[in-house]
Amino acid sequence: MTKIQNPILSGYHPDPSILRVKNDYYIAVSTFEWFPGVQIYHSKDLVNWELLTYPLTRSSQLNMIGNPNSGGVWAPCLSYSNGKFYLIYTDVKSRKGAFKDTHNYLVTADDIEGPWSEPIYLNSSGFDPSLFHDDDGEKWLVNMIWDHRKGNHSFAGIALQEYSEEEKKLVGPIRNIFKGTELGLTEAPHLYKRNGYYYLLTAEGGTEYNHAATMARSTSLFGPYEVDPTNPILTSDQSKKSDQLQKAGHGSLVETQNGEWYMAHLCGRPVVDDKCILGRETAIQKCYWTEDDWIRIEGGPNPQFEVEAPDLPVFHIQDNKEKDDFNGNQLARYWNALRRTLDGNWYSLTDWPGYLRLYGEESMASGHQQSMIMRRLEDFHVELETAIQFEPEHFQQMAGLMIYYDTEDHVYLRVTHHEEIGKCIGIIETKYGEYDELLEKDIALPDEYVVFLKAVIDRHILQFYYGTNAGDWHRIGEEIDIGHLSDDDADLIRFTGTFVGMSAQDLSGQRKHADFDYFRYKKIKDNK
């Protein structure tokens, strides 16, 4: 019997919204400050998934310049009705302290791969919006309500309002249909209809180790909603943090063409001291309905690593993600940029064919114009390798191999220039916003030579290497604990994951460029 191996989307893939259209399955996940916005994965068997497309590819759809760390796109909702795909998403502009500026939008497409429309503004009352298509043709938006007032609970319930497709806006009264349970922090609403009941699935308990999925139902869309007597229907077993999927919650449901039910949900896998280096991931659990019309997780409520797959034909995918030689005119689909679109003049694949050229711009602390081409860290044990041609003329110019969580936390094997020794290589670590250089003195490099850069990551331990000849590696610096590159090791709660790739800076403003010949990402062990 075929099994689903969880997580199905490893690495930073939070807040899954799952959808079936005929024989095709799609999952949309949050992308926060990384561009393009919203990843959509595709499958036909719920076992094998491939990255299919990004709907938000233009700055007119998503302008994140200046957005805070872990701002940007939160909790997209993908749905389908009458031949059209609908995508709802939040663009979070501020999130620190009492206030959250959360603007909710809708884009549509006739084809899942686009083109996707310009956005329709909906509201800003809270985040995690979701669109429900009732069987009478009406459409309803739900989102959590954010209450900033002192002494009030910040999560103030679930708002419901009708969406008029003809007027392209929300219309009619706003109703608070569900205040949540004692688990608190009620968010991530999704509505479903079955056997005369409206089902409201929410996330509660916060997106960390108390995370859970709560189900409530009503015979009326407007409530009142009765909570499942066994609530929560999904949550992690915290007594087994070493061998369980943790942080389980924020789910969405799908029914197969054979009448089986599954829940896609968020999870995390700690590597050390409850730290999830890979970020929050996506898993799937099989469900069933009871005789009294409540849904249950098979083997639940705790999530399972192995889940019985539906009886569907195998979906074959190609895994060509190990090495990119930059020989094409477009970046591979798995590459991302930080806050900025991929249509600017800050990088090129054609200025020197066969190389990725990055024009150095702002520093790693910037929330605006950073020159990074990065991909998700999806495995606990990997080797990363690149080769760079770069001739810096000033200490403000640098480029190299970046291991990055956000502006506050990253580690950087970079080539730069020093007044006394010329071209050189060293390691920068920024930890909790504090800058440090990990070598007592940078190492001199020959001019006009390719420099090979390598990183080996073994769970939370990172070791860098460099060389001036292919395969001739020299260890540089000591082992680095990268546990701070996680959601769980910062004063401010954050929500993304570790990225790896290539970066260039020119703090002088001269836009000195660096050329990268290739990038190799090699998984070296199982994810244990």
pLDDT one digit per residue (tens) for the chain, 528 residues:
799 999 999 999 999 999 999 999 999 999 999 999 999 999 999 999 999 999 999 999 999 999 999 999 999 999 999 999 999 999 999 998 899 999 999 999 999 999 999 999 999 999 999 999 999 999 999 999 999 998 766 999 999 999 999 999 999 999 999 999 999 999 999 999 999 999 999 999 999 999 999 999 999 999 999 999 999 999 998 776 655 799 999 999 999 999 999 999 999 999 988 899 999 999 999 999 999 999 999 998 999 999 999 999 999 998 778 999 999 999 999 999 999 999 889 999 999 999 999 999 999 999 999 999 999 999 999 999 999 999 999 999 999 999 999 999 999 999 999 999 999 999 999 999 999 999 999 999 999 889 999 999 999 999 999 999 999 999 999 999 999 999 887 666 899 999 999 999 999 999 999 999 999 999 997 766
Q: What is the pLDDT of residue 239?
A: 76
Cβ atoms of residues 409 and 485 within 8 Å: yes
pLDDT score at 334: 97
**Contact by Cβ (8 Å): 185, 175:** no
Q: Are 203 and 192 in contact (CB under 8 A)?
A: no
| Both structure tokens of 115 | 């083109």
Answer whether 0.75 is exceeded by the pTM: yes
For 436, the token pair is: 């440090």
Which of 215, 289, 211, 217 shows the shortest CA–CA distance to 252?
215
Do the domains 3-308 and 323-523 sit in the same CATH topology, yes or no?
no
Select which of 33, 45, 128, 187 is catalytic.
Answer: 187
Q: What is the pLDDT of residue 138?
A: 98
pLDDT at residue 264 in the model: 98
Closest CA to 480 of 525, 438, 522, 513: 438
d(CA 349, CA 335): 13
- Extract the tokens encoding 103: 């603007």
The dihedral formed by the CA atoms of 228, 230, 235 and 240, expressed in degrees to the nearest 10: 180
Q: What is the CATH number of domain 3-308?
A: 2.115.10.20
Look up 15 and say whether it is catalytic: yes
Strands (E), 98-242: 101-109, 120-123, 130-133, 139-146, 155-164, 169-178, 187-194, 197-204, 212-218, 226-227, 234-235
Q: Which pLDDT score, from 0 to 100, does residue 319 have?
A: 78
Q: Is the peptide bond before 189 cis (omega within 30 degrees of 0)?
A: no
Residues contacting 252, CB < 8 A, separation 6+: 16, 17, 18, 77, 190, 201, 263, 264, 265
CA distance 479 to 465: 11
- Annotated active-site residue 187? The verdict is yes
The string of DSSP codes covering 469-502 is STT--EEEEEEEE-TTSSTTSSSS------EEEE
Pull the structure tokens for residue 508: 């002088």
CATH code that applies to domain 323-523: 2.60.120.200
Cα–Cα distance measured from residue 497 to residue 410, given in angstroms and rounded to the nearest whole number: 11
The pLDDT tens digits for 114-144 are 999 999 999 999 999 999 999 999 999 999 9
Kindly list the domain boundaries of the chain, sorted by start residue.
3-308, 323-523
CA-CA-CA-CA torsion sign (517, 518, 519, 521): negative
Give per-residue pLDDT as tens, 222-238. Answer: 999 999 999 999 999 87
| Alpha-carbon span 217 to 330, nearest angstrom | 47
Q: DSSP state, 446? A: -
